[in-house]
Structures are given as structure tokens and as C-alpha cells.
């Protein structure tokens, strides 16, 4: 749901030429709203929602450059998001505080934390490169 809903509006925006003036406001609004509201969240569901809003801003910025950039960013975004969602569904946690009390291996916890940091765009991780 977090990624498939973005495809059609991005294709529509790419085909409309007159929208480019308003695209800048969409980039600023979604990027800042997602980043600011995501800072205070401990719920993983809300954190992923605000992260998705923030990534929409990055997708719009890539769209202002070229459609190829959107494809590259979207593929990397899906590559980062799907393992996180699969692991969160499998271990069924809802809050960040529950991660330390999980009865799973430390390798899975490290993968989950590393994937979340990569989705946030920290420099040594894969999520930093498209940004």
C-alpha cells in the first residue's frame, strides 16, 4: 500500500506540463511534513506512514529531474521498504520500544534497525545514495 499508491499520481504528474510550477510546493510540503511529524513517533505504523510522505517529496524531486530518476529512486525505495514490512508483519511488533524485547535473533534485530536507518537515508546505507 505504501508504494503502489504512488505510481499512478506520479505518472499523471509526469504527463502534465502545467503542473511543474506547483511541483515545488508539493516537494517542500511533503518533505517537511513527513520529516517533522516522523520525528516524534514511536509507533512503527505511523513512522512508516510519515516516512512514505517524506519519500513522496523525494520522488517528486526526482520527477522534476527526469522519469528515469523516478524509476531508480522508486526501485531502491521498494527494495528498502519490502523487507522491513515483511519482518514487521512476521514478528508483529507495533512500537519501537518492543524491538529490544523481541525473542528473535540479534541478526534480525540488526537487519531491522539497519533497514530503518537506510530508509531514513543515513550516509553509509543504501537509502542515502538516491537522495
How does pLDDT run across 59-80, given as a tens digit for each residue?
Answer: 888 877 887 888 888 888 888 8
For residue 16, the model assigns a pLDDT of 67
The predicted model gives 41-68 an average pLDDT of: 82
pLDDT of residue 8 exceeding 60: yes
pLDDT of residue 3 exceeding 70: no
The predicted model gives 18-28 an average pLDDT of: 73
Residues 6 or more apart whose Cβ sits within 8 Å of residue 29: 57
- Domain locations along the chain: 4-128
Query: With 0-12 CB in 10 A as exposed, 13-18 as middle and 19+ as buried, what is 51?
Result: buried
CB 64 within 8 A of CB 20: yes
Question: The pTM is what?
Answer: 0.77
Q: How far apart are the C-alpha atoms of 108 and 106, rounded to whole Å?
A: 5
For residue 116, the model assigns a pLDDT of 79
Amino acid at each position: 500500500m505504501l508504494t503502489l499508491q504512488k505510481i499512478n499520481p506520479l505518472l499523471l504528474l509526469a504527463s502534465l506540463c502545467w503542473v511543474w510550477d506547483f511541483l515545488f510546493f508539493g516537494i517542500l510540503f511533503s518533505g517537511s511534513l513527513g520529516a517533522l511529524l516522523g520525528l516524534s513517533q514511536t509507533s512503527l505504523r505511523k513512522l512508516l506512514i510519515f516516512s512514505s510522505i517524506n519519500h513522496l517529496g523525494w520522488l517528486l524531486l526526482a520527477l522534476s529531474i527526469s522519469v528515469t530518476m523516478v524509476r531508480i529512486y522508486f526501485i531502491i525505495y521498494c527494495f528498502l521498504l519490502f523487507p522491513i514490512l515483511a519482518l514487521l508483519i512476521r514478528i508483529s511488533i507495533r512500537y519501537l520500544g518492543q524491538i529490544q524485547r523481541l525473542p528473535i535473533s540479534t541478526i534480525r534485530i540488526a537487519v531491522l534497525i539497519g533497514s530503518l536507518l537506510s530508509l531514513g537515508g543515513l550516509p553509509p546505507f543504501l537509502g542515502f545514495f538516491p537522495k
